[in-house]
Structure 1
Amino acid sequence: MSRMMIQAAVTMNQLQNKLDVIGNNMANSQTTGYKAREAQFSSLLFQQMDNLNTPENAEGRLTPDGIRIGAGARLGSINSNFGQGNIVTTDRALDTALLGRNHYFQIQVTTNDVTETRYTKDGAFYLSPVEGNQSVMLTTSDGNPVLGENGPIIFADGFDNIDIRENGQVVVERAGQTEVAGTLAVVEAVRPEVLEATGENMFRLPDLNALGYNINEVLRQAPQNGALLQSNALEQSNVDLSKEMTELIMTQRSYQFNSRTISMGDQMMGLVNSLRS
């Protein structure tokens, strides 16, 4: 296979990955708190070919001497766009929207008997019964506990009303009396780019030692100098559908051009093989 066809085939494989990223963004355009992902391309290693017969004539040349032949392109990285989404009112007591750009709720997730803390912008919470007693726990739609300042927020059932205040306090009313059942543990991502997407609209901390960070350089408790959240509201996805459609069309065109390159290369090789001396 010729170098030209190899370059096109390698690039097509990476373009397919970008199409997957775009498709995932578009599929989550209505997912609460979803953060769009962006694919960044970079060139693969290239070969430097010196082809100047008279290097002295290249005096003042701004680019390196010779010809550089690459091996295609690859996805250099897939980064999340942490921009704030629009906040819409839902009139549902357990819906909350964080007001800080890099503020996150903490969720306790157990997978294969391993429990870890994950972070999300999705503030659509629910109440799930706790086995063995007459209590309920604040959870996500998947049943994962929402963490408060003292762990999962659990309180007795049988209340008349519930409200989540702008400072994160979960307040319940019983027979005209109010009590604070817990306070949401909201954190601020100082370096949000370090967070690792895990699926299910959540993030987690990677191996910080390998990256040369400590946890205090990445996460900290959200400042309490103002309102943390808006109750009876949700933050929408920050996916820009018009931008995603533009990226989709451009990526499809690039895929088609590279596919055409392989076809033309195959035709050229066929013509060469058919030549007669």
Structure 2
Amino acid sequence: MTRMTFQAAVTMGQLQKRLDNIGNNIANVNTTGYKNRDANFSSLLSQQINTEPDPTNPEGRLTPDGLRVGNGAKLGHTNFNFEQGSSKVTDRNLDVALLEDNHLFQVAVNENGEEEVRYTRAGNFYLTPVEDDQVMLATSDGNPVLGAGGEPVVLDDNMDDLKIEENGTINVTRNGVQAVEGQLEIVEAVRPRLLEAAGNSLFRLSEQSLENYPFDEVINGVGLADVNMKSGALEASNVNLAKQTTDMIETQRAYQFNARTISMHDQMSGLINQLR
């Protein structure tokens, strides 16, 4: 394989990864709390090819004495765009939308027998039954939503009404009497780029970030007084469909150009082989 075809083949493989990322963004354009992922490219290592000096010119060549040939491009990194998505009013008491950038709900996820705290912007919560005639605030996947002290929000089931207020308090009405029986605890991602996707609009701290940074430097708790959310609403995805479509067309064109490079090289090689 020549340098030309090698560069094109490597770049095509990375362009395919970018197309996969764009397709994932478009597929989640209507997913509550989804955050757009931006893919950035970087050049691979270049090789210096030195040219021989001109023997007829004792002072050497007048043109550059070498060429730098790259080995294609690669997908450097994929970053989450944590910009605020638009709010969609639902008038549902268990729906809340965060109004501050980098603020996240805490969710407990049990994976392979180990419980791990993960984070989400999706505020479409539900009540799921637990033991002793109680109910627990949970996500659409049934994972417990964590409240004050990092504990699941568990309430007695005999209630007339329930509403999550804009300050994160959970007001429960029983026999016509309203009382606060829970509190959502919000955290702020100080370094959002250290978060990685965990599926279903969830994020978690990457293993590398946990090894290199103390926990309190990566993600800090926010005081309950600083909680800022909108009740009866959900945060929509922040995917810009027009931009994603443009990026998809641009990436497809780049893929076609690289594929054309390989086919043109194949044709040129065939012509050379036919020379007598």
TM-score normalized with structure 2 length: 0.93
Superimposed CA distance per residue, residues 112-154 of structure 1 (whole angstroms, 9 cap, x where no aligned partner): 1111000000000000000x32110000000000001130000
Of all paired residues, the percent bearing the same amino acid is 53
Q: Does the CA-based 8 Å contact 1:208-1:214 persist in structure 2?
A: no
Superimposed CA distance per residue, residues 168-203 of structure 1 (whole angstroms, 9 cap, x where no aligned partner): 111100012122221111001111111111111111
Superimposed CA distance per residue, residues 98-121 of structure 1 (whole angstroms, 9 cap, x where no aligned partner): 111010000000111111000000
1:61 aligned residue? none
Deviates more, 1:208-217 or 1:245-254: 208-217
Displaced runs of 4 or more, over 6 A: none
Residue 225 and residue 55 in structure 1: after superposition, are their counterparts in 2 closer, same or farther (change >3 A)? Answer: farther
Aligned mates of 2:209, 2:22 — CA distance in 1 = 32
1:192 aligned residue? 192
SS at match of 2:25: helix
1:246 aligned residue? 246
Residue 97 and residue 12 in structure 1: after superposition, are their counterparts in 2 closer, same or farther (change >3 A)? Answer: same
Kindly state the Cα deviation for residue 226 of structure 1 after the two structures are TM-superposed. 4.5
Kindly state the Cα deviation for residue 228 of structure 1 after the two structures are TM-superposed. 1.6
Residue 67 and residue 20 in structure 1: after superposition, are their counterparts in 2 closer, same or farther (change >3 A)? Answer: same
Aligned mates of 1:88, 1:119 — CA distance in 2 = 21
1:133 aligned residue? 132
Aligned mates of 1:29, 1:22 — CA distance in 2 = 11
Residue 25 and residue 70 in structure 1: after superposition, are their counterparts in 2 closer, same or farther (change >3 A)? Answer: same
* 1:120-269 → structure 2 map (5 Å cutoff): 120-130=120-130, 132-150=131-149, 151-207=151-207, 212-269=212-269
Deviates more, 1:173-182 or 1:135-144: 173-182
Residue 253 and residue 225 in structure 1: after superposition, are their counterparts in 2 closer, same or farther (change >3 A)? Answer: same
Kindly state the Cα deviation for residue 269 of structure 1 after the two structures are TM-superposed. 0.8
Kindly state the Cα deviation for residue 32 of structure 1 after the two structures are TM-superposed. 0.6
2:97 aligned residue? 97
2:13 aligned residue? 13
Q: Does the CA-based 8 Å contact 2:167-2:225 persist in structure 1?
A: no
2:3 aligned residue? 3
Q: Give the AA of the match of 2:152.
A: P
Kindly state the Cα deviation for residue 227 of structure 1 after the two structures are TM-superposed. 4.8
Residue 128 and residue 270 in structure 1: after superposition, are their counterparts in 2 closer, same or farther (change >3 A)? Answer: same
1:36 aligned residue? 36
Deviates more, 1:134-143 or 1:192-201: 192-201
**1:68 corresponds to 2:58:** no
SS at match of 1:147: coil
Aligned mates of 1:87, 1:52 — CA distance in 2 = 65
Kindly state the Cα deviation for residue 224 of structure 1 after the two structures are TM-superposed. 4.1
Q: Give the AA of the match of 1:105.
A: F
Q: Give the AA of the match of 1:212.
A: N
Q: Give the AA of the match of 2:145.
A: V
Aligned mates of 1:120, 1:78 — CA distance in 2 = 18
Deviates more, 1:19-28 or 1:197-206: 197-206
Residue 264 and residue 95 in structure 1: after superposition, are their counterparts in 2 closer, same or farther (change >3 A)? Answer: same
Kindly state the Cα deviation for residue 80 of structure 1 after the two structures are TM-superposed. 0.8
- Which runs of no fewer than 5 residues in structure 2 stay unpaired? 54-58
Residue 168 and residue 259 in structure 1: after superposition, are their counterparts in 2 closer, same or farther (change >3 A)? Answer: same
Residue 210 and residue 272 in structure 1: after superposition, are their counterparts in 2 closer, same or farther (change >3 A)? Answer: farther
Q: Give the AA of the match of 2:111.
A: T
Q: How many residues align?
A: 270
Residue 52 and residue 228 in structure 1: after superposition, are their counterparts in 2 closer, same or farther (change >3 A)? Answer: farther
Deviates more, 1:16-25 or 1:175-184: 175-184
Across the aligned residues of Structure 1 and Structure 2, the Cα RMSD in angstroms comes to: 1.7
Aligned mates of 1:270, 1:71 — CA distance in 2 = 24
* 1:109-128 → structure 2 map (5 Å cutoff): 109-128=109-128
2:56 aligned residue? none
- Which runs of no fewer than 5 residues in structure 1 stay unpaired? 59-63
SS at match of 1:180: strand
